[in-house]
Copies of this chain bind each other. A is one copy, B any other.
Amino acid sequence: MIPIVNEDAPRRPLRADAARNRERILVAAEEVFARDGLAVPVDTVAERAGVGVGTMYRHFPTKEALFEAIVVHRLDELLELTRADIEAGARGDGATDRFFAFLDRVGEQVSLKHDLFDALGAAGVDLRSSYGDRVAELKRAVQLLYDRAVAAGGIRSDLNADEVMQLVMGVCHRPDGSPADDGATRRLLRVVCDGLRVRS
């Protein structure tokens, strides 16, 4: 129950070079994971950061840990936007459009950040990751916005948050070496959104 050590308070400030390297590693990892997802070898990140692997492992005890650091950051950004959407809180006519705009945003992130896709994909399978609660929150947000749009009468009611996520993720995912986007992803997402609308 009571943790032996307080993990939140750093024992002491990092040495200057250590702090610098930690930052470099995070920046490099953000780029590399975005491009190639979790599959990329750790050496790639280290090289890109201009740092030895040993250094990486001092800062992040495991590849997973580094990945999680990135993904948690990504999810926090996404949740920030989401909260804005929720609080803007249209329940009337705006609800449907707001929901679609939200899906657009999620879709854009997923198609841009390969790591987000991997994380959310894996999250479906195992929710015990350290960002599991954030994923749960995201899912709750999706469900809430979806329910509001349903209540506003704009979209079909026979889905749930998981299924909506599967639609967006599936459609917006871009396989590894695929060429530039030129708006195809957005167009596809629009097809899905049209499909969600109630038949007029």
Contacts and interface: CB of A to CB of B under 8 A. Distances in A.
Interface in A77-99: none
Interface in A148-177: 156, 158-159, 163, 166-167, 169-173, 175-177
26 contacts: A121-B175, A124-B175, A124-B178, A125-B175, A125-B178, A156-B191, A158-B187, A159-B187, A159-B188, A159-B191, A163-B187, A166-B171, A166-B184, A167-B188, A167-B192, A171-B171, A191-B192, A192-B192, A192-B195, A194-B194, A194-B195, A194-B197, A194-B199, A195-B195, A199-B200, A200-B200
A193 interface: yes
A163 B184 contact: yes
Interface of A: 121-122, 124-126, 156, 158-159, 163, 166-167, 169-173, 175-178, 184, 187-188, 190-197, 199-200
A196 B195 contact: yes
Contacts of A196: 191, 195
Contacts of A166: 171, 184, 188
Given A125-B177, A194-B195, A167 B156 contact: no
- Copies of this protein, total: 2
If over half of A's interface residues share one DSSP class (helix, strand or loop), that class is named, otherwise mixed; here it is: helix
Nearest to A176: B125
A49 to B, nearest CB: 27
Nearest to A123: B175
Contacts of A184: 163, 166
Nearest to A173: B170
A133 B37 CA distance: 29
Given A125-B176, A176-B125, A196-B191, A167 B159 contact: no
Contacts of A159: 187-188, 191
Nearest to A175: B121
